[in-house]
A and B are shown apart, each in its own frame.
Chain A
Amino acid sequence: MTIADPVQIGASRAAAAARDARPLLELSRVSKRFPGVTALDQVDFELRHGEVHVLFGENGAGKSTLINIIAGTYPPDEGAFTYQGEAVVHLTPHAARLLGISPVFQEFSLVPDLTVEQNLFLGRELSRSGVLDRSRMRTRALDLIKLLGFDLDPNRKVRDLSRAHQQMVEIAKAFLADVRLLILDEPTASLTEAEAAKLFALIAKLKASGVGIIYVSHRMREIKQIADRITVLRDGRKIATVEAGDVSENALVEMMTGRKIEVLFPRIEPRPGAKLLEVENLTLANHTVTDVSFYARAGEITGVAGLVGCGKSELVRAVYGLELIAAGIIRVGGAAVTNPSPATLLKQGLCYFPSDRVAEGLALGRSVRENASMTALDLPAYSRRGVLQRASERRAIQSIVERLKLRPPQIERAVANLSGGNRQKVLLARGLTRDIRVYLFDEPTVGIDVGAKAEVYDLMKDVLATGAAIVLVSSELPEVLHLSHRLYVMHRSRMVAELTGSDINEQQVLSHFFREDAAGRAAPASSGGR
């Protein structure tokens, strides 16, 4: 196998295919179910040659399922899959690559202990009569990196790279193949503006040569900049496919959430009271959080925004005793916490709700009741002298799940059988089993449907009214923008801004996301639209 300029190869073949009037890819009525969830429900999707087609939707809307089906990760349960005019069945990731389908996922498929170059050529090493042809691979790797304009050293181990650089390797990998259909899943999530600009230039080049590109992104600015068409997904269904030029930002967000923004996000009046949580100069042993100070007040939602990997999640995890702290002071209700652990913090009225509900939140095999009461077994309503008060437990949990609108409100079902939204409600029920004064929410609406989302927000409103403090960590920008009364922005492990009032808007937040970048250049990052 020889590899010429990958873009050139991709270009010539795709250009030939482009003469074909049929779309590059056509999915019709594709469905995919997982236990407890219908991830895709009768979705139609079409990708033309030389088109950038943006997939737009919230977390859990079905975007990743759709691109995973296209990449051959798993087969659809039903529906037709047509690629270059031919029906495709039994697609595997390997077969997809041979067909010229190159995915770049958010979860990287890199081997940490191999070098950049070894990762690029993994599974398709160049060889001469059975012996690895290192010099030729080196030349190719260097050529490709230069073409992409990435700052990458092919000799370095992937383990030692930053997330942004790993993202670059992942993208380079996709370009090394003979690509006809490129899938990019939030590729700019950890790139700087300059790197993103180079990626967009490449996308333009590929587009001109007839390659079809599926682009998943939440960012309005880049969607406006590169999209030809946009397909909006919500709760596993296709809402619409629109021409990018014909649609306003607000219309897109409303299609995505299914409601007017004012309706989805409840209006919550802040009534700031005492500082219930204070963090001073916190630094973690692994430096994912460096010298961060912040506070959360009763009656107020304190938002924390930032790019993936900026340390915002580690910050609240550290408060709950889940990360190793190198320096800093944490005060809950005015009292310093010397040795934070979940058990001690729960007793002090602070609870953390993890973003990864399966790994850290729930015992999937156990019932709703046991999962909900897990944090409160030390209270007299749940146990006395180590003996469970099962009747009183049942009553308490039953009334809590009814209040949270768990559907159906059956407390003896195993949590494994519940949908994402219901699982989150089970987790949130813990906040109501005992007197919690500080709620730390880590991506509270990831993977749940819009209805459940609105209910989570309503719960926030309720607990805030009782005088609790809420810390909301979220990568979902509209969420933190609309709900936060004060919004902190983190960037590369540091707290870079505290926004209040009308400063809480997309432009402000994004300018801090790309802070160093904007500062390094004469003109600040321009924001399209508004």
Chain B
Amino acid sequence: MTDAIFVSKAGADRRRGLLDWLLILSLPLLMIAMELGVYAFEPRVLSLRNIVNVLNQSSYLVLFASAQMMVILTRGFDLSLGTTVSAISVASALVMTGLAAAGAPDFVLVAAGLIVGLGFGALVGLFNGFFVSWLGINPFVVTLGSLNICLGLATTISGGRPVFNVPDVFSLLFYNGVLIPGLSIPLMIAILVCLGLYFLLNHTVFGRSLYLIGNNPRAAYLAGLPSKRFLGLAYLACSLLAAFGALMLTARTGSGEPNLGGSLMLESIAAAVIGGVSLQGGVGGVGAVIMGTLFVTMLSNSMDLLEVGGYIQQILLGCVIIVAIFLDRLRLTRG
């Protein structure tokens, strides 16, 4: 029997391997095709300046998509990510402008901004994590709830208006300062975060466990993994990453914006899923998030260059997500 089985199995592996390769290569090929297609109408798309621009834009989204990945790996997602970003933006901006008006020194401003921003992120993450993990409530319901809570907070504390005059030192540190010539600070941070996440996912018990929990939560529990703790920690990590991204965006705009995170929830999920992070859990990684982010950023950059309207762009992004999820399904049923 064994011989027959191994022959057929090897055959199956080869076939699956081919399909896998097609799926893996489909995204880079699609990106190249897209850029070349746009180039025919708008040569600026392949200019060095535009490419650098795309990379810099990606450095924000890659953080938010990584944040989503942490929870998508465990079969969840975080709908509250966008409004969390908004709330953190206004909260940290309010604290910094307040302290600046009181004449506090620069390092206090920055420290206060970071503490408030990351602290708020930690609170949201613990809130989501507690309800999803310890009380076993569906992440859809929990994060939909926290989406609204954060939206309300962001609007209330800012009075619905942007908070201007974020101290320059903050923007200098997280946006337009120059540490290494030719490498923007956001891009540098994004690279460091990606490296850190790669280590976390592949070289720590926590990272390994996220994959195992996402792949088969029941088996992970029976194997004695601290599933609840790690699931809660995944939501904490998600919100902390989002908080960090929020602070970077605040540094860029130089103001606390109550609508800052408007489209980020969808874009972050889109980038992760398009890159190949499976909504069924347990599949994905930093590489996938980077590819997905680049694709989403290139797509919107191309459409900007071709002067496609913002609302039309949203329609297209929605369609792209659905196609990506369909491909995810396909991959799973084949596997």
Q: Which of B188-214 contact A (CB under 8 A)?
A: 202-206, 208-209, 211-212
A390–B205 CA distance with the chains assembled, in angstroms: 11
A97 on the B face (CB < 8 A) = no
The contact string, 1 if C-beta is below 8 Å from chain B, for chain A 448-485, is: 01010000000000000000000000000000000000
Contacting pair A38 B8 (CB below 8 A): yes
For A387, give its contact among B9, B204, B226 (CB under 8 Å): B204
A378–B206 CA distance with the chains assembled, in angstroms: 11
Contacting pair B4 A366 (CB below 8 A): no
B335 on the A face (CB < 8 A) = yes
Contacting pair B216 A362 (CB below 8 A): yes
Contacting pair B1 A236 (CB below 8 A): yes
Residues of A within 8 A of B202 (CB): 388
B225 on the A face (CB < 8 A) = yes
Closest to B206 in A: A386
Interface of B is mostly: helix
Contacting pair B215 A33 (CB below 8 A): no
Residues of A within 8 A of B6 (CB): 408
Q: Taking A38-B1, A388-B205 as contacts, is the C-beta distance between A365 and B282 under 8 angstroms? A: yes
Residues of A within 8 A of B9 (CB): 36, 417, 419
Contacting pair A361 B209 (CB below 8 A): no
Residues of B within 8 A of A38 (CB): 1, 4-5, 8
For B219, give its contact among A343, A360, A407 (CB under 8 Å): A360
Distance (Å) between the CB of A382 and the closest chain B CB?
A: 8
A342 on the B face (CB < 8 A) = yes
For B215, give its contact among A35, A366, A378 (CB under 8 Å): A366
A346 on the B face (CB < 8 A) = yes
Contacting pair B223 A374 (CB below 8 A): yes
A320–B218 CA distance with the chains assembled, in angstroms: 14
Residues of A within 8 A of B47 (CB): none
Q: How large is the interface on B (under 10, 10 to 19, 20 to 34, 35 or more residues)?
A: 20 to 34
For B224, give its contact among A360, A365, A375 (CB under 8 Å): A375
A322 on the B face (CB < 8 A) = yes
Contacting pair A37 B219 (CB below 8 A): no
How many chain A residues touch B (CB < 8 A): the figure is 45
Contacting pair A366 B223 (CB below 8 A): no
Contacting pair A386 B205 (CB below 8 A): yes
Closest to B199 in A: A387
Residues of A within 8 A of B1 (CB): 38, 41, 235-237, 449
A417–B222 CA distance with the chains assembled, in angstroms: 22
A370 on the B face (CB < 8 A) = yes
Residues of A within 8 A of B223 (CB): 342, 346, 374-375, 430
B221 on the A face (CB < 8 A) = yes
Q: Which of B1, B8, B9, B223 has the most CB of A within 10 A?
A: B223
Residues of A within 8 A of B216 (CB): 359, 362-364
B220 on the A face (CB < 8 A) = yes
A446 on the B face (CB < 8 A) = no
Distance (Å) between the CB of B290 and the closest chain A CB?
A: 21
Contacting pair B13 A417 (CB below 8 A): yes
B283 on the A face (CB < 8 A) = yes
> Using a Cβ cutoff of 8 Å, how many contacts connect chains A and B?
99
Distance (Å) between the CB of A18 and the closest chain B CB?
A: 37
For B204, give its contact among A36, A386, A449 (CB under 8 Å): A386
Contacting pair A342 B203 (CB below 8 A): no
B26 on the A face (CB < 8 A) = no
Contacting pair B204 A342 (CB below 8 A): no
Contacting pair A370 B13 (CB below 8 A): no
The contact string, 1 if C-beta is below 8 Å from chain A, for chain B 1-31, is: 1101110110011000000000000000000
A430–B223 CA distance with the chains assembled, in angstroms: 9
Q: Taking A33-B8, A41-B4 as contacts, is the C-beta distance between A374 and B212 under 8 angstroms? A: yes
A377 on the B face (CB < 8 A) = yes
Q: Taking A38-B4, A41-B4 as contacts, is the C-beta distance between A361 and B222 under 8 angstroms? A: yes
Q: Taking A41-B4, A377-B205, A386-B206 as contacts, is the C-beta distance between A363 and B224 under 8 angstroms? A: no
Closest to B227 in A: A343
The contact string, 1 if C-beta is below 8 Å from chain B, for chain A 365-403, is: 110001000110110000100111010000000000000
A56 on the B face (CB < 8 A) = no
Q: Taking A38-B4, A374-B212 as contacts, is the C-beta distance between A354 and B206 under 8 angstroms? A: no
Distance (Å) between the CB of B265 and the closest chain A CB?
A: 27
Closest to A390 in B: B203
Residues of B within 8 A of A363 (CB): 211-212, 215-216, 219-220, 282
Given contacts A363-B282, A377-B225, A407-B2, 20 further A-B contacts (CB under 8 A): A33-B8, A35-B12, A36-B5, A38-B1, A38-B5, A41-B1, A342-B224, A352-B222, A360-B219, A363-B211, A363-B220, A366-B212, A366-B282, A374-B212, A383-B205, A386-B206, A387-B204, A417-B9, A419-B9, A430-B223
Residues of A within 8 A of B (CB): 33, 35-38, 41, 235-237, 320, 322, 341-343, 345-347, 352, 354, 359-366, 370, 374-375, 377-378, 383, 386-388, 390, 407-408, 416-417, 419, 430, 449, 451
- Provide a sorted-by-A list of 29 A–B residue pairs whose CB atoms are within 8 angstroms: A36-B12, A41-B4, A236-B1, A322-B222, A342-B223, A342-B224, A343-B224, A346-B224, A359-B216, A359-B218, A360-B219, A363-B212, A363-B215, A364-B216, A366-B215, A374-B212, A374-B220, A374-B223, A375-B223, A377-B205, A383-B205, A386-B206, A388-B203, A388-B204, A390-B203, A417-B12, A419-B5, A430-B223, A451-B2
Residues of B within 8 A of A (CB): 1-2, 4-6, 8-9, 12-13, 202-206, 208-209, 211-212, 215-216, 218-226, 282-283, 335
